[in-house]
Amino acid sequence: MLQILNTLQEQVLTKLPAISTQEELVVYKNSIFGKNGELTEILKGVKDLSIEEKQTIGKATNDMKNSLAAAFDIRSQAIDAAEVEERLASEYTDVTFPIADTGIGHLHPLTQVIRQVEDSFTRMGFEIRESMEVTNEYKNFDAVNIPKSHPARDMQDTFWLEGIGNVLATHTSSMQNEIYKTHDLPIRVVIPGRVFRNEDVDATHENTFYQVEAIVVDKGISFANMKYTIRTMLSDIAGKEVKIRLRPSYYPFVEPGADVDFSCPFCDGTGCRICKGTGWIEFMGCGMIHPNVLREGGIDPMVYSGFAFGFGLNRLAMIKYGINDMRYFQNPNVAFLRQF
Ligand code: FA5
């Protein structure tokens, strides 16, 4: 029996190195150790040996069984290690290797315009605060002089959120109250941000768009300061001196309030396609901050005054780049984006 076992062991040790996958190894192991495997069949004869033989041969066969099992384990580990080596060699990528020109992207046109606006305000000594996208009824409406019954609420179709009084900001003026309450005086802050209105989308209206708000509060701030700031910003963005004109207008959070037009930078006021032949581009709302709004923010309107203005950034980008449909901005169309 020992001789048969020795022969089997030799066969196994010769064959094992030639096996290169775990699947093959399992099949071969089964043919040796399985229910009808070669070794199992040989070991079935042990029960017929005499007691003395069982003591010697039995122990030897057991040792051989263990050593064959160990040989299978070693081969199994070697196959795993070889597989890892092979994957390392085939999947290795040198991330420091110079790549071919893949056409690296660039900033979205809206981001480019936001940065230009921020640069202009930074030069004028403003600090930048980003507008909160989720706010509440108090900050978005009540605190800026738009009480519940006010018709101006209907002009800004609102996305109401779960929870009492939570809304998506409909305008960047929703940041005013928080800034008045948390900022030391004087205040000179510009607030770009994304706002939302539950509106039908068309070429000039989006339900998700960007606005920029600017607020200044100090002692002795006047309408003239506001006009100068607006003109400086618009000239910076247009890349040339522009004129502005103000028309009386109504916003609940300012008094007096006005709408601002600026002279068309494309035709210098003579009339063209962009300004629809008028020489002027209607652009934004502005005004002196309403005393109620200052008071609600904890600022005494008898001591301090200020101005605020706000405009749509999508509209500015459309004017600047001659884009005729606002829906392009939220459309991930690479052919459109590559133009800027
Ligand atoms: C406001 O939102 C005021 N908070 C602006 C303001 C601030 C006035 C401070 C006075 C003082 P209005 O609703 O008009 O105002 O929106 C301002 C600008 O946002 C518009 O001129 C327009 O450019 C842009 N806008 C408004 N609705 C949309 C829309 N649905 N899609 C794209 N842009 C819009």
pLDDT score at 70: 94
Compute φ and ψ for 60, nearest 5 degrees. Answer: -60, -40
Which structure tokens are listed for 127? 């600090």
Ligand 1 atom closest to the Cα of residue 156 is 13
The rounded radius of gyration (Å) of the Cα atoms in the chain is 39
- For 298, residues 6+ apart whose C-beta sits below 8 A from its C-beta are 180, 181
pLDDT of residue 126: 98
pLDDT at 122 over 80: yes
Please indicate whether residue 261, judged by its CB atom, sits closer than 6 Å to ligand 1: no
Is residue 23 within a helix (H) or strand (E), and if so which, with residue range?
helix 22-33
The residue whose CA has the least distance to atom 5 of ligand 1 is 310
Look at 20-34, 90-104, 286-300 and tell me which has the smallest mean pLDDT: 90-104
Measured N-to-C along each axis, helices 109-123 and 313-321 cross at an angle, to the nearest 10 degrees, of 100
d(CA 145, CA 164): 20
Per-residue pLDDT tens digits for 168-227 = 999 999 999 999 999 999 999 999 999 999 999 999 999 999 999 999 999 999 999 999
Task: Report whether pLDDT(8) > 80.
Answer: yes
pLDDT tens readout for residues 70-86: 999 999 999 999 999 99
Q: What pLDDT, on a 0 to 100 scale, did the predictor assign at position 27?
A: 95
- Point out the ligand 1 atom lying closest to the alpha carbon of residue 215: 9
* Sequence letter at residue 287: G
| Residues in Cβ contact with 106 at an 8 Å cutoff, skipping those fewer than 6 apart | 340
Question: Is 2's pLDDT higher than 90?
Answer: no
Q: How far is the CA of 258 from the centre of ligand 1 (A)?
A: 13
Kindly give, in sequence order, each residue whose CB lies less than 8 Å from that of residue 296, ignoring residues fewer than 6 positions away. 142, 143, 144, 145, 177, 180
Instruction: Give the pLDDT band (50/70/90) at residue 61.
Output: confident
For 5, other C-beta atoms within 10 Å of its C-beta total 20
Residue 154 has pLDDT above 80, yes or no: no
Write down the pLDDT at residue 223: 97
pTM of the complete model? 0.73
Domains and CATH numbers, the chain: 2-91 (no CATH), 109-337 (3.30.930.10)
Query: Two tokens at 35?
Result: 């229910």
Contact 209 CB / ligand 1 (< 6 Å) = yes
Report percent pLDDT > 70 for the chain: 100
Task: With a cut of 90, say whether residue 116 has pLDDT above it.
Answer: yes
* Pairwise CA distance, residues 2 & 169, whole Å: 88
| pLDDT the model gives residue 202 | 94
* Residue 242: partners with Cβ closer than 8 Å, 6 or more residues away: 231, 234, 235, 262, 263, 265
Region 88-99 average pLDDT: 85
Among 256, 123, 122, CA closest to 192? 122
pLDDT at 313: 97
Mean pLDDT of the chain: 93
> Would you say the CB of residue 311 lies under 6 angstroms from ligand 1?
yes
Structure tokens at 163: 């929870």
Whole-angstrom distance, CA of residue 302 vs CA of residue 246:
26
* pLDDT tier for residue 63 given thresholds of 50, 70 and 90: confident
Is residue 50 scored above 90 in pLDDT? no
Closest ligand 1 atom to residue 207 Cα is 30
- Those residues whose C-beta lies under 8 Å from the C-beta of residue 325, and which sit 6 or more positions away, are 203
Tokens of 210: 């960007």
SS3 category, 72: helix
Which of 290, 315, 328 to mutate to test ligand 1, by most ligand atoms within 8 A of the CB atom? 315
Helix 109-123 × helix 223-238 angle, to 10°:
130
Residue with the smallest CA separation from ligand 1 atom 22 is 312
- Residue 270 above 80 pLDDT? yes
Which of 110, 141, 174, 211 has most ligand 1 atoms within 8 Å of its beta carbon, as the pocket-test mutant?
211
For residue 53, pLDDT beyond 90: no
Q: Say what the pLDDT of residue 103 is.
A: 76
pLDDT of residue 260: 97
- Cβ(171)–Cβ(156) under 8 Å? yes
Query: Is residue 213 in contact with ligand 1, taking CB distance under 6 Å?
Result: yes
- Asked, as a colleague might, if the bond just before 256 is cis with ω within 30 of 0, I would say yes
pLDDT at position 245 over 90:
yes
Q: How confident is the model over 316-326, as a mean pLDDT?
A: 93
Does ligand 1 have an atom closer than 6 angstroms to the CB of 226?
no
Residue nearest to atom 9 of ligand 1 (CA): 309
| Cβ atoms of residues 143 and 169 within 8 Å | no
Looking from the CA of residue 282, the nearest atom of ligand 1 is 21
